[in-house]
Amino acid sequence: MRAVRFHSHGGTDVLQVDEIDRPEPAADEVLIVVDGAAVNPVDTYFREGSYEPFTLPMIPGIDAAGEISAVGDDVTGFSEGDTVMATGIGKAHYGGYAEYAAIPDDRVVTLLDGVDTVEAGAAGVAAVTAWRALIDHANLQLGDCCLIHGGSGGVGHVAVQIAAAAGAEVITTASPGYHDELGELGADHVFDYHRDDLADAIVDASDGGADVILDHRMHEYLQLDADVAATGCRVVGIGEKEQSVGFNQSAAVRRKDLQLTLMSMFNTPDLRDPLRDVSRLLASGDLDIEIAQQYDLGGAAEAQRAVLEESFLGKLVVTP
Q: Indicate the length of the chain as a whole number.
A: 320
| Domain-located, residue 205 | yes
For residues 169 and 302, membership in a common domain is answered with no
**Rounded percentage of the chain residues whose pLDDT exceeds 70:** 96
Rounded distance between C-alpha atoms, residue 126 and residue 258, angstroms: 25
For residues 169 and 238, membership in a common domain is answered with yes
| Domain-located, residue 281 | no
| Domain-located, residue 81 | yes
Selected residue with higher pLDDT from 264 and 317: 317
For residues 222 and 309, membership in a common domain is answered with no
For residues 94 and 38, membership in a common domain is answered with yes
Domain count, the chain: 2
Does pLDDT of 242 surpass 80?
no
Residue 198 CA, distance from chain mean position: 25
Instruction: State the average pLDDT over residues 278-295.
Output: 97
Q: Residue 94 corresponds to which amino acid? A: Y
CATH of the domain at 153: 3.40.50.720
Measured CA to CA in angstroms, residue 131 lies from 12, 184, 196, 262, 277 at distances of 30, 20, 31, 14, 8
Lowest mean pLDDT among 56-60, 231-235, 254-258: 254-258
The kind and range of the H/E element at 5 are strand 2-6
For residues 246 and 131, membership in a common domain is answered with yes
| Domain-located, residue 120 | no
**Cis bond before residue 25 (omega within 30° of 0):** no
Range of the domain at 56: 2-110+290-318
Does pLDDT of 25 surpass 90?
yes
* Of 277, 314, 263, 320, the residue nearest 126 (C-alpha): 314
Helices (H), the chain: 41-48, 117-131, 154-165, 179-185, 198-205, 218-228, 251-254, 272-284, 300-309
Please tell me the number of Cα atoms within 13 Å of 33 on its side-chain side.
Answer: 7
**Rounded percentage of the chain residues whose pLDDT exceeds 90:** 90
For residues 227 and 200, membership in a common domain is answered with yes
For residues 171 and 211, membership in a common domain is answered with yes
Query: Residue 58 carries which DSSP code?
Result: B
Residue 42's pLDDT is: 94
| Phi, psi of 202, deg, nearest 5 | -65, -45
Instruction: State the average pLDDT over residues 240-265.
Output: 75
Rounded distance between C-alpha atoms, residue 42 and residue 308, angstroms: 10
pLDDT tens track for 56-107: 999 999 999 999 999 999 999 999 999 999 999 998 999 999 999 999 999 9
Q: What sign does the dihedral 55-60-61-62 (CA atoms) show?
A: positive
For residues 171 and 141, membership in a common domain is answered with yes
pLDDT tens track for 245-254: 666 666 656 7
For residues 11 and 67, membership in a common domain is answered with yes
| Domain-located, residue 27 | yes
